[in-house]
Amino acid sequence: MQYFYNYQDYLLEYKRYKLKKDTNKIGFLLVLYFVATSVVSFFALFAVIIPSILSGFDTSNSTNAAEAILEDSTFVLILSGFVSLVCFFFVSLLFCLMTKADLGKVLPLQKTNIKMLYLICTFGLGICMVSNYVSELLLSIFEMFGIDASINMEFKCEGVLDIVLYYITVAVIPALVEEFAFRGVVLNTFRKHSDKLAVLVSGITFGLMHGNFTQIPFATVVGLVLGYIAVKTNSLVPGIIIHFLNNALSVTMTLISEHTALSDFTINILNVALTLIVCALGLISFIILAKKHKGFFVLKDKEDELQYKEKIKAVTSNAWIIIFTILMLSEAVLTIFLEV
């Protein structure tokens, strides 16, 4: 009897150790994402601006050159795509290689039949549309205190190349690399400990990674939903499709708004109509999933020696996770002052 008690005690300590170790790894990776994003962006800008600095060492000219480059939509789009690829794909891949992660688990691609895939994607896209109002609510609260936390996220496309780049860098690349990073690496590292914990951590960190109060609430809700879908389907494919469609719709509405002669009233009508249609399809899919696939909206963890509260505490008290949270919230606050 004494031997059994010691074994259970040992098993409990071992699970605590493994959770702490995995949390340290993911926390470090999240901080690395932030550092890599900052460093790569800086050196990319420096590499483009340095010729003007070398030509006469005129500070005012170099500043004007920097401003001109940052106003070049084509350059900004290319930079955005390059940073996403380096920071979320290559850093994640390097992390997997260094930690000897099982790529089959990090990149789950279990097949989903077409009908089920349609229901999941329309449901997820509907949630994305509703989540926009979460962001708007938070921004409204900020405005009540005289704080404008909104940011300008529009690009001035000057030709077909810019439009193609806009879709690639805003819709295609993020859908692939961010799903790999957060629903692949982050989520599946924690799944061995708890599916609920994995969804929660991957969703919240995905939201924080956006670094501004315009996107954090929206991205957090979407991250939680996409994480849940990844767990239920054991595949990144639905999340990639939902992520792509959401961003592509946003790009399309921005292009219509910026590059057509339609009035603001007409554009608002189109926006509302699109939102209602997508939400209606999402609601229908939700009802079908709830009735015909009853287990889809039930997420149960296996019985574990560690209680869920203890797992949450282990993650939230981790030094790397705390550092990452502080960095991203600081960036979000700084963004407000920079916009002003």
Q: Whole-angstrom Cα distance, residue 327 to residue 34?
A: 8
What is the per-residue pLDDT across 202-258, written as a single tens digit (0 to 9) for each?
999 999 999 888 889 899 999 999 999 999 999 999 999 999 999 999 999 888 888
In tens digits, the chain (340 residues) has pLDDT values of: 445 557 677 788 889 999 999 999 999 999 999 999 999 888 776 766 665 555 544 445 444 555 566 666 777 788 888 999 999 999 999 999 999 988 888 999 999 999 999 999 999 999 999 988 777 777 788 778 777 766 766 667 777 888 899 999 999 999 999 999 999 999 999 999 999 999 999 999 999 999 888 889 899 999 999 999 999 999 999 999 999 999 999 999 888 888 788 888 899 899 999 999 999 999 999 999 999 998 899 998 877 778 889 999 999 999 999 999 999 999 998 888 766 5
- Give residue 333's Cα distance to chain centre: 19
DSSP string for 44-57: HHHHHHHHHHHTT-
* 104 conformational bin, left if phi > 0, alpha if psi -120 to 50, beta if neither: alpha
Q: 88, 176 in Cβ contact below 8 A?
A: no
Helical (H) or strand (E) element with 199: helix 195-208
Backbone angles phi, psi at 339, to 5 degrees: -70, -35
What is the per-residue pLDDT across 73-90, written as a single tens digit (0 to 9) for each?
777 788 888 999 999 999
Query: Which tokens go with 246?
Result: 């959401």
Strand partners, 109: 235
| All residues at 6 or more sequence positions from 262 whose CB lies less than 8 Å from its CB, including other chains | 256, 270
Q: 313, 200 in Cβ contact below 8 A?
A: no
The SS3 call for residue 235 is strand
